[in-house]
Chains A and B, each alone.
Chain A
Amino acid sequence: DTEVTQTPKHLVMGMTNKKSLKCEQHMGHRAMYWYKQKAKKPPELMFVYSYEKLSINESVPSRFSPECPNSSLLNLHLHALQPEDSALYLCASSQGGGVIYEQYFGPGTRLTVT
């Protein structure tokens, strides 16, 4: 199984809502990532978890809150988002944090903030 799954596929939320994005992988990977991608742009790194511990936070606003409950699951909790947060949110995983390990990406969650 070389698949990273993400739910939901689409999400529309108001600026006062609280919602969560979910990412799951069963490849035994120990590094997991959240990226934000705007149309026709490369992915922008948000967070990295390595062995279930947050290792990188790219100065992301606190209205985005990551969580790694176990080695297979990664969540992104959303609260009080702004319209400019509308984007494709991608989850990725890799076998480890070493440079040789490629990342496997999920299909993404298309988020629209109204």
Chain B
Amino acid sequence: AQSVTQLGSHVSVSEGALVLLRCNYSSSVPPYLFWYVQYPNQGLQLLLKYTSAATLVKGINGFEAEFKKSETSFHLTKPSAHMSDAAEYFCAVRSVGGSYIPTFGRGTSLIVHP
């Protein structure tokens, strides 16, 4: 079985501050991990993915995430938040040998204050 937990349904930061969105996964086999962003009234857009190569993954729009097996985590970070980063962020997991259908976390809404 595979699952992801996103801690915090809402995260609020000031413009220019560090963004940290948390994702912990559960998988009995090596996971593939994804972060998606969804802007209002739009579909999901892939930010980055971990596929067992480098543990530090760089994505679009200045985001990156680090895979930490010991902590079963794949947290998303960005050094400096922009107003345009305000959106819903979803972490997803797919497991080798398991269902190829991704399991999504419940989502974290990022709020950016001026």
Could you tell me the distance between the alpha carbons of A43 and B73 in the complex, rounded to whole angstroms?
21
Contact partners of B51 in chain A: CB under 8 A: 100
Q: Are B104 and A42 in contact (CB under 8 A)?
A: yes
CA of A100 to CA of B95, assembled, Å: 9
Residue from A40, A90, A100 in contact with B88 in the complex, judged by beta carbons closer than 8 Å: A40
Number of interface residues of B (CB under 8 A): 25
Chain B neighbourhood of A104, CB < 8 A: 46
Please, how many angstroms separate the alpha-carbon atoms of A51 and B95 in the complex? 21
B32 within 8 A of A: yes
Contacts of B88 in A (CB 8 A): 40
**Cβ contacts A84-105/B at 8 Å (1 or 0 each):** 0000001010000111101111
Instruction: Tell me, rounded to whole Å, the shortest Cβ–Cβ distance linking B75 to chain A.
Output: 18
Is the pair A90, B44 in contact by a Cβ cutoff of 8 Å? yes
**Which bucket holds chain A's interface residue count?**
20 to 34
Chain A's closest residue to B34 (CB) is A102
Question: What residues of chain B lie closer than 8 Å to A105, measured between beta carbons?
Answer: 36, 43-45
Interface residues of chain A: helix, strand, loop or mixed (majority): loop
Among B14-22, B60-68, B76-84, B105-113, the stretch that binds chain A is B105-113
Residue of B nearest to A104 (CB): B46
| CB of A30, distance to nearest CB on chain B (Å) | 12
Q: Are A106 and B109 in touch, CB under 8 angstroms?
A: no
A12 close to B (CB within 8 Å): no
Q: How far is the CA of A40 from the CA of B104 in the complex (A)?
A: 13
Contact B32 A107 (CB under 8 A): no
Residue of A nearest to B31 (CB): A99
Binding site for A on B (CB under 8 A): 32, 34, 36, 41-46, 49, 51, 88, 90, 94-96, 98, 100-102, 104-107, 109
Which residue numbers of A lie inside 8 Å of B, CB to CB? 4, 6, 40-43, 45, 48, 56, 90, 92, 97-100, 102-108, 110
